[in-house]
Amino acid sequence: MGDQESNGCPLFIGGNWTGAAGAATEPVFNPSDGSVIARTPMCGASEVDDAVRAATEALPGWSATPVVDRARILFRYVHLLESHFEELSRLVTREHGKTLEEARGSVRRGIEVVEFACGAPTLLMGDALEEIASGIDCDTIRQPVGVCAGITPFNFPAMVPMWMYPIAIVCGNTFVLKPSEKVPLTAIRLVELLQEAGLPPGVMNLVHGGVDVVNALCTHPGIDAVSFVGSSPVARHVYQTATAHGKRVQAAGGAKNYMVILPDADPDFTVDALIGSVYGCAGERCMAGSVAVTVDDAAGRVLPPLREALDGMKVGPTDRDPGADMGPVVTRQHLDKVHGYIASGLSDGASLYRDGRGVEVPETPDGFYLGPTIFDEASTNMKIVREEIFGPVLSVIRTDSLDEGIEACNQSGFGNAAVLFTGDGKAARTFRNRVSAGMVGINVGVPAPMAFFPFSGWNGSFFGDLHIQGKEGFAFYTRQKVTMSRWA
């Protein structure tokens, strides 16, 4: 890896691994036992400037590289990612706390984006039409935007970075990645493998840090486009700051995803889907279902078996217990934040149907654990319903009709996902057409799209025009050039 400091979190600039001399550091925890496993350097504008300079110098040669050659590097990268699949999955589990099964699923979804990006020779094709007027032909081509930056969150250390840089670089751009300071180790390994695949120096660069680095990336005159995934307040800040500095921006924010349950929904199927959606990844994902809107008597049919199933769920250290069904949240600070939301729900008058605060994990008592939690009889004016908790907490709202359920969904300022559980096709059609969310699930608890579809958040869940993933991803990382030709 070359020169790096003992903190285990080097920077990658211009094809070289280097330490951040003199930078303050933040601890990286193993959430399962609370131990510190690395320290992330809190870099600043100087390191960002170095990375952008390297990316700028690499841009002319890389953008002129034939697209088939760029794609071949990604084909080799896919092979390396598959060869190191289990290593990457265990790394995600160690620094984030997901179960190994969840980590494997997230790495798989990231690799699928790289596989999709390998289709660049087809996906970058333009359009042409002859004789648009007498003797005049017209065609379009797609060219790279330039130097691109990616700012990624803690909850998917492998998947979310791979939403961005594979498509960006195969389009002929160069890239600067800033992973979350809470989970830098997976990103480092991803870049190591990309280097091993044969990517030229300067095409991919890696910096670490917090808000200072984010602001430096958003304002640097050498950066042309910024991709962001994180909370909605920060997404809005990134969008406003970067666009004010002339950059193209896609900023995916947080969510409050509603799941409407009709009386005809199959209880067993619905309970299984709720467990996966609400408590998968300990609720730390922007596609987690966090509000169940029950219609008529659906609550009485679903909540008792849901609580019984959760009573049998094992919460434990995911890095050493393959039988753990749910792991910890990412840090002690975040655990305290989620506890604060539970206290808020109680003070606002919601009924605590299942309290996960008393969960015990004797083998790792210093881990950041919270058991599955349910609030019943919540309402749309409560903080636990309005704000993103990002933890294993479900709030239940009781309504009398599908119309009321849709109205409850649409009162949210977010718009990532909305889900309906039903066997009624007419109800499903009504829900899909009227609900104000960019990703809709019909009997699908986590309607996260595959790599070839856009991650299509709406409202306060997304800031920008072109979404991450799919053809919109290719459109975001390219600019169209239209040529009209006439020859005497």
| Dihedral angle sign, alpha carbons of residues 154, 155, 158, 160 | negative
232 Cβ contact list (under 8 Å, min separation 6): 253, 254, 388, 414, 460, 461
Cβ-based neighbour number of residue 209 at 10 Å: 27
* Beta-sheet pairing, 393-399 with 373-376: parallel
**Residue 254 CB-density burial (10 A; 0-12 exposed, 13-18 middle, 19+ buried):** buried
Strand-pairing partners, residue 289, are 257
DSSP assignment letter at 273? H
| Burial 99-108, CB ≥16 within 10 A → b, else e | bbebbbbbbe
**Residue 74 CB-density burial (10 A; 0-12 exposed, 13-18 middle, 19+ buried):** buried
Per the listing, tokens 């993103």 go with 388
Residues identified as active-site: 286
CA angle 230, 462, 243 (to 5 degrees): 90
**Whether 190 contacts 161, CB under 8 Å:** yes
**Residue type at 227 in one-letter notation:** S
Cα 210 to Cα 230: distance, rounded to the nearest angstrom? 13
Cα 215 to Cα 45: distance, rounded to the nearest angstrom? 9
Distance of alpha carbon 476 from the chain centroid: 17
Strand-pairing partners, residue 205, are 176
Cβ-based neighbour number of residue 94 at 10 Å: 24
Cα 415 to Cα 406: distance, rounded to the nearest angstrom? 13
Cα 77 to Cα 222: distance, rounded to the nearest angstrom? 27
Per the listing, tokens 């990517």 go with 199
